[in-house]
Structure 1
Amino acid sequence: MTTKKQRQQMVAKKTESEKIRILKIMRDAEIYTLTLDPLIESYLDIFEIYQTMYMEWKEKGFPVTQRHTNKAGATNNSKHPLAQQVETWSDKKTKALDFLGLTNKAKAGKIVTGGSSVRKDEELERPKAVVDELAAHRNKWRKS
């Protein structure tokens, strides 16, 4: 078991290393601008909260459920609050990364892989549609 102060120091170290990592990735990808600083700070706040919740949940042994006794005296299993919090903050962390453009989801439509086989001085011609016998027969009877 770690103390609260030790956990805070560990989270601060992880947050600082995450900031360095994010900035390095963004500079290498040439997507960093000063206008993204507020988003980066927001992401780091989310990351810090996520790490805090995750460390507490880890220290408790990653319990998925906890037992809860209601007013009537019945005991039920319910989802552990830390498990819910880690899940929630993980989703928020992913959304923040998406806003920063650091997920592959944002890049999928923009990147074209492979080069074109057409030279720049050539025009690309579309192939003519091939009409098979069945389609020709259908068209013949639809027009009448």
Structure 2
Amino acid sequence: MSTKKQRQQMVAEKTEAEKNRILKIMRDAEIYTLTLDPLIESYLDIFEIYQTMYIQWKEKGFPSTQRHTNKAGATNNSKHPLAQQVETWADKKTKALDLLGLTNKSKGRVVTGGSSVRQDEEMKKPAAVVDELTAHRNKWRKT
């Protein structure tokens, strides 16, 4: 078990490493602009909360359920609150990454608003590829 101060230091280090990683990826992909800084800061806040919850959940041994006794005295299993929080913040983290254009869903989108095609370049439709199955289908459809 780590102390609260040690957890805060670990989270701060991971958040700084994540910031550097995100900026490097965005610069390498040439999608970084200064207007994305508020989104990046928002993502880093979400990442920090996620890491805090994850570390607390990890230290407890990743329990998926906890026992709860209601007013009538019945004891039931319920989903552990940290498990719920980690799941919620992981979803928020994914949505923030999507807004930054760093997920597979957003691969077709261009975040900066510019076109991926140069001005002097024409877009051409790719030639149809006829594989063995398509050739076989066409053979029997013609009769």
For the criterion TM > 0.5, the same-fold answer is: yes
* 1:46-84: CA deviation from partner (whole Å, max 9, x where unpaired): 000000000000000000000000000000000000000
Matched letter for residue 29 of structure 2: A
Q: 1: distance between equivalents of 2:88 and 2:18?
A: 19
Q: Structure 1: which amino acid aligns with 2:40?
A: I
Separation (CA, whole Å) in 2 of partners of 1:105 and 1:7: 33
- C-alpha separation in 1, matches of 2:89 and 2:33: 25
Q: Can you give the 5+ residue segments of structure 1 that lack an aligned partner in the other structure?
A: 118-130, 134-144
Q: Which runs of 4+ in 1 moved over 2 A?
A: 108-111
1:60 aligns to what? 60
Superposition deviation, residue 107 in structure 1:
1.2
Identity score, percent? 83
Cα distance, 1:109 vs. partner? Answer: 7.0
Deviation readout 1:83-139 (Å, 9 max, x if unpaired) = 00000000000000000000010114789xxx845xxxxxxxxxxxxx967xxxxxx
Which residue pairs with 2:79 in the alignment? 79
SS in 1 for 2:24: helix
Report the aligned-residue RMSD. Answer: 2.2
Distance across 2 between alignment mates of 1:103 and 1:43: 13
Name which one, 1 or 2, has greater alpha-carbon Rg.
Answer: 1
Number of equivalent positions: 118
TM-score, with normalisation over the residues of structure 1? Answer: 0.77
Tell me the TM-score normalized by structure 2: 0.77
Residues in 1 aligned to 2:10 and 2:63: alpha-carbon distance in whole angstroms? 22
Q: Aligned partners of 2:109, 2:94: CA distance in 1, in Å?
A: 19
What secondary structure, in the 3-state scheme, does the structure 1 residue paired with 2:76 have?
strand
SS at match of 2:53: helix
Aligned twin of 2:6: 6
Aligned equivalents of 1:101 and 1:108: distance in 2? 9
2:34 aligns to what?
A: 34
Give 1:8's aligned amino acid.
Q
Matched residue of 1:107: which SS?
Answer: helix
The answer to whether the 8 Å contact 2:63/2:83 transfers is yes
Tell me which amino acid in the other structure corresponds to 2:57. W
